[in-house]
Amino acid sequence: MTMNGTEGSRPVRLPRLDSLTGLRFPAALLVFLYHASLGVPWIRLFESDTANDQFAKYVSQAGALGVTFFFVLSGFVLTWSAREKDTFRAFWRRRFVKIYPNYVVTWALALVTFAAVMTEPWQAVVNLFMLQVWVPDFATNFSVDPPSWSLGAEAIFYLAFPLLILFIRKIDPAKLKYWIAGVMVAVFLTPTLTYAVIPGGGMQMPGADGTSTVQYWFAYVLPPVRLLDFALGILVARAVMTGRWRNIGMTASAVLLAASYALALNVEHLYAQRAVTLIPIVLMIAAFAMRDAESKPTPFNGRFMVWLGEISFAFYLVHYIVLAYSRKLLGEELFSTPVGIALIAAQAVVSVLLSWALYAWVEAPLTRRFSTSRKAKAAKAAAAAAAAAGGSTGSEDRKVAETV
């Protein structure tokens, strides 16, 4: 079965989305900063409680913003780069080859360097198969390599994408705005429904008065709920591709995102984590995509930012390991604020270097080697030979930035 649908007057080839590739790294860096601010003994560096508390306060919603950005971006970019005659099997193969090798390497690295002593064997196995997100238990959701929980959600997104794109392509472009608004409303209602229906007793989220870990799991971690973010990315991509999106521009969307983040620091936990920054994220992704479509420069489509974006998936999986293992190597000593800041900067640099290695030695070569079956490669080679024999120059394959 193919992923074709009613496509309308879509261009044969869409431009690369280099800015969206470049934006992946700042989003991953936000997640890094959030994890670096955690006051747990295996992460904390600052001796001063004041410095530690202020740092944690100002980046308390940075991780959630980064994750939401990635979920929406994933739906947007996969829709933008969808191949018209793709099959379900071919799509799933490419996503598996791109995602799972990095995931397994960092799973093993986390266990070896720090996580084995705090992880039950069954939790390690559940993590290996990306099933930790289905267990309503905070310790299990964030066991082994804590950031990897989001890959459990992404796995469901990828399984659902071929069916979602078939359905969404059939929506009348004039009605996309209603679908987009409906999904946004559903996301905003998620915290309300959660607080109303899911029990609030038991273990509480740190620094989030009135929010239980089970409520957090339901509203923030559970894949079917987060599928709304992914579907929103697909819908917005279709709106942009069919000329049905009203662009407010890069600057305005960035200002709105900054304002929404400030608001997120002052509202109830689940609203902050789940909903407050959503609309500016959508506006920003669309604005930068449209800028790329016009082949105009942005702060994020230069060569260096694109390279950082390309290694950002590896960075996302590696950084917590660096934070935890470097803290282990440093012993129990806590540090002055300037030294702590310098150490966090060094942890970021080490994370980038390790991410580069993981990308260059694992992700890129395995993606090149195994993302296409031998049969498909043979068919492509035969088609190229036939085109050359017929005097056709062929066409360059589309290269579009992809996300986690």
pTM: 0.92
Residue 208 lies in a domain: yes
Q: What is the pLDDT of residues 177-189, one digit of tens each?
A: 999 999 999 999 9
Q: What confidence score (pLDDT) does residue 1 get?
A: 59
Residue 8 lies in a domain: no
- State the CB neighbour count (10 A cutoff) for residue 327: 20
Q: What confidence score (pLDDT) does residue 384 get?
A: 66
Residue tagged 């085109």 (tokens): 387
- Tokens describing residue 154: 């992404």
- Tokens describing residue 161: 């994408």
CB 159 within 8 A of CB 91: no
Q: What is the pLDDT of residues 198-216, one digit of tens each?
A: 988 888 888 777 899 999 9
- Tokens describing residue 389: 């024999």
Confidence of residue 6 (pLDDT cuts 50, 70, 90): very low
Instruction: Tell me what the mean pLDDT of segment 328-354 comes to.
Output: 97
Q: Is the pLDDT of residue 395 over 70?
A: no
Task: Provide the CB-side half-sphere exposure for 313 (13 A, CA).
Answer: 25
Residue 82 lies in a domain: yes
Q: What confidence score (pLDDT) does residue 10 get?
A: 45
Range of the domain at 141: 18-389
Residue 398 lies in a domain: no
The length of the chain is 404
CB 278 within 8 A of CB 69: no
Sign of CA dihedral 73, 79, 82, 88: positive
Residue 12 lies in a domain: no
Q: What confidence score (pLDDT) does residue 13 get?
A: 63
Residue 124 lies in a domain: yes
Give the least confident one: 79-83, 141-145, 239-243, 286-290.
Answer: 79-83
CB 51 within 8 A of CB 340: yes
- Average pLDDT for the chain: 92
Q: How many domains does the chain have?
A: 1
Q: What distance separates the 2 farthest-apart alpha carbons in the chain?
A: 73
Which residue type does 322 have?
A: V
- Torsion angles phi and psi, residue 234, rounded to 5: -65, -45
Q: What confidence score (pLDDT) does residue 4 get?
A: 60
CA distance 376 to 241: 28
Residue tagged 């996300």 (tokens): 403
Task: Spell 248-275 as b/e; 16+ CB within 10 A means b.
Answer: eebeebbebbeebbeebeeebbbbbbbb
CB 10 within 8 A of CB 39: no
Q: What confidence score (pLDDT) does residue 210 get?
A: 83
Residue 315 lies in a domain: yes
Residue 400 lies in a domain: no
Q: What is the pLDDT of residues 93-152, one digit of tens each?
A: 999 999 999 999 999 999 999 999 999 999 999 999 999 999 999 999 999 999 999 999
